[in-house]
Amino acid sequence: MMKQSTSLALMLTLGLSAPMAGAQETAAPAATADAPPAASAEGPGTTYVKETHDDWEIQCLRTESGSEPCEMFQLLKDSEGTGTAAISIMALPGNDDAAAGATITTPLETLLTQGVKLKIDSQEAIALPFNVCSQAGCYSNVFLKDKDIDLFKKGNKIAMTIVPAAAPDTPVELMISLKGFTAAFDALPKPAAQ
């Protein structure tokens, strides 16, 4: 299980709720002499897309130190084109245990006991447990070994299945495209071992 902290993956997945938040737009209050200036849209703590490789984006987090952590990201859409879930992958310092960490984010009201099922092409499906839920969604974190990364690089797609708590007999299948995975993973900055 990956350590739970305010990671880039968590900050990016909080953005999944942004379309709902934008539904009730209100004018920002005018700045006054006593109020601090508003945070810059490009200041520390904001994210940006550094590169796009087919169906994967490399998103980075601006920091005050200038050392900007980056991860691969893909928004998963349902059959109607609505952003429903997300996957993000961050390279880890080289060690024997894991080459990367992945975070899968699903909507609230996902049936947690069923976990997230992933099936790469014709391989047998694996089930991953959920680790935590927040107001933005539920998260399944997993370490990826070199052999897992190789499977992703050789694959075409991953069928991801989640089960809604309100309709447990109607699983939802989403597709994670692996188009551009190799280029995006190879372009990810590799953090230095500590």
Contact indicator for 131, 140 with CB cutoff of 8 Å: yes
* H or E segment and range at residue 175: strand 172-177
Q: β-strand 137-144 against 132-134: which pairing, if any?
A: antiparallel
User: Is residue 151 domain-resident?
Assistant: yes
- The structural domain count of the chain equals 1
For residue 33, tell me if it sits in a domain. no
Task: Return the pLDDT at 18.
Answer: 31
Residue length, the chain?
194
13-61 per-position pLDDT tens digit: 333 333 222 222 223 333 334 444 444 578 888 999 999 999 999 999 9
In a domain, 6, yes or no: no
User: Residue-wise pLDDT tens for the chain (194 aa)?
Assistant: 333 333 334 343 333 333 222 222 223 333 334 444 444 578 888 999 999 999 999 999 999 887 889 999 999 998 899 999 999 999 998 766 899 999 999 999 999 999 999 999 999 999 999 999 999 999 999 999 999 999 999 999 999 999 999 999 999 999 999 999 999 999 998 887 66
- Is 17 inside a domain boundary? no
**Residue 85: exposed, middle, or buried by beta-carbon count in 10 A (0-12, 13-18, 19+)?**
buried
State which H helix or E strand residue 183 sits in: helix 181-187
Q: Which residue range(s) make up the domain with 157?
A: 44-187
Cα separations (Å) of 13 from 34, 46, 126, 189? 33, 13, 23, 20
User: Is the full-model pTM beyond 0.75?
Assistant: yes
Contact in structure between 107 and 13 (CB atoms under 8 Å): no
Cβ burial, residue 99 (10 Å; 0-12/13-18/19+):
buried
Residue 108 sits in a domain whose CATH number is 2.60.40.1880
Q: d(Cα 172, Cα 13) in Å, to the nearest integer? A: 19
Residue 13: inside a domain: no
Alpha-carbon dihedral 18, 24, 27, 32, rounded to 10 degrees: -70
Q: Is residue 26 part of a domain?
A: no
**What residues contact residue 56 under an 8 Å CB cut-off, 6+ apart?**
72, 73, 74, 177, 179, 180, 181, 183, 184
Q: How far is Cα 145 from Cα 91, in angstroms, rounded to an integer?
A: 11
25 lies in some domain:
no
